[in-house]
Amino acid sequence: MTDQKVMNRWLVVIGAILIQLCLGAIYAWSVFTKQITLPSADGGLYGFTTKQAMGVFSAGLAVFAVFTVIAGRLQVRHGPRPIAVIGGIVLGIGYVLGGLIGKTFATQLLCIGVIGGAGIGLAYTVPIAVGVKWFPDKKGMVSGLAVAGFGFGATLWVKLAGSWFGGLLNTTSVFGLPGVQSVFFIYGIVFAALVLIGSIVMVNPPAGWKPAGWEPPAPSDTPSHATGTADFTSGQMLGTIQYYSLVLMFIGSALAGLMVIGVIRLFGIDALQASGARADVAAAGIAAGTAMAWYAILNGLGRIVWGTVSDRIGRKWALFLMCLFQGIIMFLFFKMGHTVAGLIVGACIIGFNFGGNFALFPAATADFFGNKNVGINYGWVFLAYGIAGIVGPQIAGYFKDAAAGDVNAWVKPFIIAGISCLVAAAIALTLRAPKKA
């Protein structure tokens, strides 16, 4: 089947990046937090607490994770393209409704968190599962490329909302809606359209197809280079210790990145003002927004680099190094955030390491449990992301609200995140490929 005429497999990568650019909108949430948490007494239209703002974000992440499992099952029955299409439509509807009726915490939670999160979850695993099947010879690299758009997309949507062309938050009023809701509405239309275009090439290769000149590697159960030649069903996978090791590692590692994504703007403003590096809120907000944009750029780059590196050194050692570096930087981030340069550098490193999760864990899932069922199997592994998405931002929101303006409130959540990453690194050292009964 190698010589069979099929479409150029790199078109799948292009379609994947286009889809993921839109799904990465959830990582742009921090650009809205300053406006939605401005107290009503100070002229704010929403008056959410930090915990409520993080609640919308956490809900989106949790629903996103749950729907990856549902999407995996639907892909088996209906194929990848229809599921990507449905995901794009649901995502667009969530944001459009968030724009039209998202004035309260309850409506934003429903529209952006639940409906938007469901759309992201439906579409997310499609490019990964399709990509691994088209690139069995480069699983780490293609997993990174397939989800790189997720990280880069956050930069695009942050900058469009916050600063480019004056910032949509400051310049738009669709149907007379305030800035936040106007941006939701515009983004909903754009997301649906772009995901539909990217979905055109989301098709599996013909049965038995393989890249020219490539032969499947001999079975291996070495801890660093499992080959994915044994295909596990989800039920079989759930009976292995490797599945639970991957889940615990994913929770520990993702917790840090998701915490920082949700609060980097709030933390940056607090830290820069407390140190005197930026005296007023507006200047501190601009600097924090720059750090947030660089976080997203390095997030996308980290997916590609860590995925490619793991193809060379093995998934085990790549996971260990990624988690170790993330733990170390989380212990240093509070101090780094008191200067503009330190805030940006810290955000870049955290974003780079966080991005590696989304290349390494799907590739490790394919390595350990086979390529055939990777769409549904990775959905089960990805539930860890939903747990981390609730725990990480909520920990930060709790300490921020409880401290009533004290910048030192940020120390504890960052330490908790650092410890969780080091625990994940320790678990990585125990990884061994499972043996199918």
Give CA–CA dist 35/154, Å, rounded: 18
Asked if residue 2 is part of any domain, the answer here is: no
Please write down the HEC assignment for all residues of the chain: CCCCCCCCCHHHHHHHHHHHHHHHHHHHCHHHHHHHCCCHHHCCCCCCCHHHHHHHHHHHHHHHHHHHHHHHHHHHHHCHHHHHHHHHHHHHHHHHHHHHHCCCHHHHHHHHHHHHHHHHHHHHHHHHHHHHHHCCCCHHHHHHHHHHHHHHHHHHHHHHHHCHHHCHHHHCCHHHCCHHHHHHHHHHHHHHHHHHHHHHHCCCCCCCCCCCCCCCCCCCCCCCCCCCCCCCCHHHHCCCHHHHHHHHHHHHHHHHHHHHHHHHHHHHHHHHHHHCCCCCHHHHHHHHHHHHHHHHHHHHHHHHHHHHHHHHHCHHHHHHHHHHHHHHHHHHHHHHCCCHHHHHHHHHHHHHHHHHHHHHHHHHHHHHHCCCCHHHHHHHHHHHHHHHHHHHHHHHHHHHHHHCCCHHHHHHHHHHHHHHHHHHHHHHCCCCCCCCC
Per-residue pLDDT band at 224 (split at 50, 70, 90): very low
Total domain count, the chain: 1
Asked if residue 1 is part of any domain, the answer here is: no
The per-residue pLDDT for range 46-82, each reduced to its tens digit, is 888 888 888 888 888 889 888 988 888 888 888 899 9
The pTM of this model reads 0.73
Asked if residue 20 is part of any domain, the answer here is: yes
The per-residue pLDDT for range 236-269, each reduced to its tens digit, is 999 999 999 999 999 999 999 888 877 787 888 8
Asked if residue 125 is part of any domain, the answer here is: yes
- The CATH number that applies at residue 178 is 1.20.1250.20
- Compute, in degrees rounded to 10, the torsion defined by CA atoms 419, 422, 424, 426: -130
Asked if residue 322 is part of any domain, the answer here is: yes
The per-residue pLDDT for range 270-295, each reduced to its tens digit, is 889 888 888 788 888 888 888 888 88
Comparing 5-9, 87-91, 234-238, 365-369, the range with the smallest average pLDDT is 5-9
Asked if residue 273 is part of any domain, the answer here is: yes
Q: Is residue 117 scored above 80 in pLDDT?
A: yes
Instruction: Say if CB 256 and CB 418 are below 8 A apart.
Output: yes
Q: Is residue 218 scored above 70 in pLDDT?
A: no
Return mean pLDDT, the chain.
85
Looking at residue 376, its pLDDT comes to 81
Asked if residue 237 is part of any domain, the answer here is: yes
More confident residue, 211 or 131: 131
Per-residue pLDDT band at 333 (split at 50, 70, 90): very high
Asked if residue 222 is part of any domain, the answer here is: yes
Residue numbers of the domain that contains 283: 10-428
- Compute, in degrees rounded to 10, the torsion defined by CA atoms 147, 297, 258, 292: -150
